[in-house]
């Protein structure tokens, strides 16, 4: 319930934006093309779960790593101002991702702490403020590229056609 918005940018300029109103269970596709309808909430909610139960394997130094041109850039923004930016790509059939965390000062409310912090590695502080949370997360992930499971890579690379269906014309349905 903490994630407010997910933006997925593909190298071919396709951009997918999902937003959830505070208190709502479901995300809505903001970039719905004309002539298409959202497939189901099940599909639109999936990308917002990327950071939940994130399992990271095998870290490589980012210093000697170059993402290919077909990398996908995903931004996950929370209501309390934490922003996760994930660069990801499949290279030699292996899913790679690097993470960085920042803060959207416009969303921070003084003194607010997240209900549930994002945990990567061992939990050190049960309720950090957002700035401290971003700092702590960056200390764990900075300068590293990680191998992530296929299930997580699929969340980062969703495309509009995976989340939508073509709207059938009335005349086609009645025939």
pLDDT computed for residue 110 by the predictor: 39
Q: How many CA atoms lie within 13 A of 165 on its CB side?
A: 8
Predicted pLDDT of residue 125: 45
Place of tokens 């990398």: 71
116: pLDDT confidence band, cut at 50, 70 and 90?
A: low
pLDDT tens per residue across span 57-68: 789 999 989 999
Q: How many CB atoms lie within 10 A of CB 95?
A: 20
Give the pTM. 0.85
pLDDT tier for residue 1 given thresholds of 50, 70 and 90: confident
Q: Do residues 159 and 32 lie in contact, with contact meaning Cβ atoms separated by under 8 Å? A: no
CB distance 164 to 36 below 8 Å = yes
Place of tokens 């940018």: 9
Rounded average pLDDT over 110-130: 53
Chain center to CA of 35: 26
Is the per-residue pLDDT at 115 higher than 80? no
Instruction: Give the mean model confidence (pLDDT) for residues 36-49.
Output: 93
Answer whether residue 31 shows pLDDT above 50: yes
User: Could you give the percent of the chain with pLDDT greater than 70?
Assistant: 85
Cα 90 to Cα 74: distance, rounded to the nearest angstrom: 14
pLDDT band at 85 (very low <50, low <70, confident <90, very high): very high
């Amino acid at each position: 319930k903490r994630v407010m918005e997910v933006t997925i940018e593909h190298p071919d300029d396709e951009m997918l934006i999902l937003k959830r109103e505070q208190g709502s269970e479901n995300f809505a596709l903001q970039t719905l093309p004309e002539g298409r309808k959202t497939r189901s909430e099940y599909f639109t909610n999936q990308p917002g779960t990327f950071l939940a139960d994130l399992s990271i394997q095998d870290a490589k130094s980012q210093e000697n790593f170059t993402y290919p041109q077909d990398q996908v850039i995903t931004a996950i923004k929370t209501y309390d101002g934490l922003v996760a930016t994930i660069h990801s790509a499949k290279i030699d059939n292996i899913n790679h991702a690097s993470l960085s965390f920042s803060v959207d000062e416009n969303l921070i409310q003084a003194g607010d702490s997240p209900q549930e912090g994002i945990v990567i590695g061992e939990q050190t502080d049960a309720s950090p403020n957002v700035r401290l949370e971003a700092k702590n997360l960056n200390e764990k992930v900075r300068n590293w590229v990680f191998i992530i499971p296929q299930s997580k890579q699929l969340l980062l690379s969703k495309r509009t056609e995976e989340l939508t269906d073509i709207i059938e014309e009335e005349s086609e349905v009645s025939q």
